[in-house]
């Protein structure tokens, strides 16, 4: 895929959705950090239901610590892996209070040092909360990047590095959200909706699905 085609892909995605953002509900960098940390193997809808119960009673590191491990478990028990997520969340809040005065760090190193926070979560926080041009690669973005031939790679790290290299600079900040939404609603896993895809003629996928 050449750069002209890549630029046209993002031009169309932007035209269709000028201001893309996460579907997680949040109103502060800390709330976003919590929501993303809870999202592993859970849907955004499920996470939003859990945080709708959690945030009214605890939406700061100190409030989470005060709620305690058992209290957090009770509130987020509808989520998969909730025991481990609650443990990481409380430990994360303790570290935020101890080392960062309760504030979410703005560096990758600071974020990745937090319990339960890996590179993908750090990328989401840097991008969505702090407007950094990072690209977090999840299963949707990995699929879209490989299927379209936009930024093929054998693993998420390869795809991330390729995207950072080939996405035009003026589209880089929002690329994460455009690609994840495209993968979630159009370029879906089992039967991509090629007939309603705004970039179908630019996509290099060989097995395009005709509309029913």
Region label for 58, one of left (φ > 0), alpha (ψ between -120 and 50) or beta (otherwise): beta
Alpha-carbon Rg for the chain in angstroms: 18
* Spatial distance between the Cα atoms of 105 and 118, rounded to a whole number of angstroms: 14
Residue 176's CB: how many other CB atoms inside 10 A?
26
Task: Given the residues 85, 120, 162, 172, select the one marked as catalytic.
Answer: 120
170 is catalytic: no
Task: Given the residues 14, 49, 73, 138, select the one marked as catalytic.
Answer: 138
Nearest CA among 119, 146, 147, 111 for reference residue 135: 119
138 is catalytic: yes
* Spatial distance between the Cα atoms of 157 and 65, rounded to a whole number of angstroms: 33
93 is in an annotated binding site: no
* Spatial distance between the Cα atoms of 167 and 55, rounded to a whole number of angstroms: 35
* Spatial distance between the Cα atoms of 186 and 191, rounded to a whole number of angstroms: 9
Cite the annotated binding site by residue number.
187, 194, 197, 203
**Active site amino acids:** 120, 138
Cite the annotated binding site for [4Fe-4S] cluster by residue number.
187, 194, 197, 203
């Amino acid at each position: 895929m050449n750069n002209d085609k890549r630029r046209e892909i993002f031009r169309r995605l932007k035209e269709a959705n000028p201001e893309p953002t996460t579907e997680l509900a949040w109103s502060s960098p800390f709330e976003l950090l919590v929501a993303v940390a809870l999202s592993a193997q859970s849907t955004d809808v499920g996470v939003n239901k859990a945080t709708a119960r959690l945030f009214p009673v605890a939406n700061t590191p100190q409030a989470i610590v005060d709620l305690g491990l058992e209290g957090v478990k009770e509130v987020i028990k509808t989520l998969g892996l909730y025991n481990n997520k609650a443990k990481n969340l409380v430990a994360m809040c303790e570290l935020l209070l101890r080392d960062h005065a309760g504030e979410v760090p703005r560096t990758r190193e600071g974020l990745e040092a937090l319990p339960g926070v890996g590179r993908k979560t750090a990328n989401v926080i840097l991008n969505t909360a702090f407007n950094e041009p990072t690209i977090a690669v999840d299963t949707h973005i990995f699929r879209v990047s490989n299927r379209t031939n936009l930024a093929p790679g054998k693993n998420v790290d390869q795809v991330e590095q390729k995207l950072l290299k080939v996405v035009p600079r003026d589209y880089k900040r929002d690329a994460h959200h455009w690609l994840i939404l495209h993968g979630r609603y159009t370029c879906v896993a089992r039967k991509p909706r090629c007939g309603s895809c705004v970039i179908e003629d630019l996509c290099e996928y060989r097995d395009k699905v005709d509309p029913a």
